[in-house]
Chains A and B, each alone.
Chain A
Amino acid sequence: MGNRLSLRSEKRSKMILSIVLAVICVIYVLPVVMVALNSFKLNTYVKTDTFALPTGEMWAGIQNFEKGVTFGNYPFWNSVLYSTVITLLSTGMILLFTSMAAWYIARVNSLVCKAIYYLCVFSMVVPFQMVMYTLSQTADSLSLNTPWTIPIVYLGFGAGLAIFMFAGFVKSIPLEIEEAGSIDGCNTVRMFFSVVFPMLKPTMISVGILEIMWIWNDYLLPYLVLDINLYRTIPIHIQYLKGSYGTVDLGATMALILMSIIPVIVFYLACQKHIIKGVAAGAVKG
């Protein structure tokens, strides 16, 4: 009897919990919905009727989107292109070169390796503001201010976490596999690319996701390094629109923001399992 009672009260408390969570869930999605609603509103109504549906005279149709892509004297599609190029190129370079270095560091126990490893671990606790000015000057004097060369800067500044995660994983791979490879006549380079590299896949995904999330959303580093008149990433472009006070078209800005978060949300829904796993791994290790 008492048992049944407690079962019933447990059922009820679970239901209350479900309702509370559902309400929080709706509140959580609301900001994104607000962006979508306001991207279809005429500029003057965004500020006065932020929470209203874009009906009647407020409706702007796709006018905001048409205006948004040419907004601020800079084509939006260019910034999408540059963001994509920078993110993919940097992530690719980081994955390839840091996994190579991490394997070498984990397997060869020399003084140089130790020095590089500890410098990398140290670099993880250094905030960007510490090197902000000198890094942008160094990059400038080496002409690294294009989307095709900025990956060098990302590889340098972002190497720490990647090497740390890869080295940790390599240490858990039994040496016997590589010993078997070397008895079969694999040289060092082939050993890495055909034996070790495929085994690194889970860490590759975790590191890759962390780097993509960082670089795609990064604002200050590309802003200081890139030649801003020619190359703007999406965050830089959006910051630029808002920076010119008074003349900002809020409706068009919301249209741009909507266009820039839709691919991110699609990417998230497509590989959320990997993303959540990668983030948890990075947090626990970093």
Chain B
Amino acid sequence: MRKGIFKNPMRRWGWLFLGPVTICFVIGFVWPFFQGIYLSFCKFKLINRATWIGFGNYAKALSDPSFLHAFWYTALFAIVSLLLINILGFAVAYALTQGIKGSNLYRTVFFMPNLIGGIVLGYIWSMIFDGILSRYSTSILLNANYGFWGLIILMCWQQIGYVMIIYIAGLQAVPEDMLEAAKIDGATKAQTLFRVTIPNVMPSITICTFLTLTNGFKLFDQNLALTGGQPFLIQPDGTSVKTTEMLALNIYNTFYTASSSSKGVAQAKAVLFFILVAGLGLLQLWYTRKREVQQ
């Protein structure tokens, strides 16, 4: 019956409802995506003069020391930032749900950095770090360790407020009677936290974990603005590795600043990057589904 009323008159308008999005979606995503996969198997300087070379670009990408360095650097960064942001974000969210005066004000302040763009954030923090380090006559651009921890501090400052919002929502949904029951049974605060509260906010923890992990892997603007990959390390063979360069920036640099014949290699790196990030996304989907089935 439903179809009898709806199906026919609506379908006549399909072109109007789907048309604009479909055209733009093809221009902005579908065509570039498939062309990108095709070009990763080609040698090219200009898109319309590409010659098929098979897996050569992938072999070159995987043997490029700067790409491998960027991969391990990014992975390390993603894991360290994941741990710090989630632990601190959860702690702040937990503190703010204890009924302290001014909780709303704190929440507002902690979330604020999320509104500021990555490029601007990078410059604000590079000024602050250099202001501190110049007293010891050094700079964030001179030491790879400073660059790493500087970026970690920046990302904590930005993302703690973000995961805090999600954790607060999760904490507020923990059933009150469960906490009450734990209290009556004589559980200490720590016991209640680890045995009752945390198991109940597991869905939020899953979301935030994957969110910070993929954000860490995809990071670009902040990396570019804070250090831009400096300091550079000259290899014995004359090439240089940018010590604080992450994956996204490495792909960008391979496209636009390395020799123009390396565009195919850059596109192959981009496909590998896509597989990595999409794999994390699928892992999250699978993990969330599994939990939902269990519950």
Contact = CB atoms under 8 A, between A and B. Distances in A.
Size bracket, chain B contacts: 35 or more
B29 A110 contact: no
A101 interface: yes
A25 B12 CA distance: 57
Contacts of B31: 134, 138
Which residue, of B31, B113, B115, B270, has the highest number of chain A Cβ atoms within 10 A? B115
B102 interface: yes
B126 to A, nearest CB: 8
Contact of B166 (A104, A187, A284): A284
A34 interface: yes
Given A276-B165, A279-B165, A108 B27 contact: no
A139 interface: yes
B28 A159 contact: yes
B127 A50 contact: yes
In terms of DSSP, what is the predominant structure of the interface of chain B? helix
A25 to B, nearest CB: 5
Contacts of A284: 166, 169, 207
A18 B119 contact: no
14 contacts: A35-B127, A50-B130, A104-B10, A107-B6, A126-B278, A129-B248, A132-B251, A152-B24, A157-B28, A182-B9, A235-B117, A267-B115, A276-B111, A283-B211
Interface of B: 2, 5-7, 9-14, 16-18, 20-22, 24-33, 35-36, 39, 47, 92, 95-96, 98-102, 105-120, 123-125, 127-128, 130-132, 134, 157, 162, 165-166, 169, 207, 211, 218, 220-221, 224-225, 247-248, 251-252, 255, 263, 266-267, 270-271, 273-274, 277-278, 281-282
Across chains A and B, which 4 residue pairs bring their CB atoms closest together, nearest first? A156-B28, A50-B131, A217-B117, A125-B281
Interface of A: 14, 17-18, 20-22, 24-25, 28-29, 31-32, 34-35, 38, 46-48, 50-51, 93, 97-98, 100-101, 103-105, 107-108, 110, 112-113, 116, 119-120, 123-135, 137-139, 142, 144, 152-160, 163, 175, 178-179, 182-183, 187-189, 192, 213, 216-220, 234-235, 238-239, 242, 250, 253-254, 257, 260-261, 264-265, 267-269, 272, 275-276, 279-280, 283-284
Given A130-B33, A189-B13, 16 more contacts: A21-B95, A22-B102, A24-B92, A34-B131, A97-B24, A104-B18, A108-B6, A116-B18, A125-B281, A130-B36, A153-B24, A157-B29, A192-B17, A217-B119, A257-B120, A268-B115
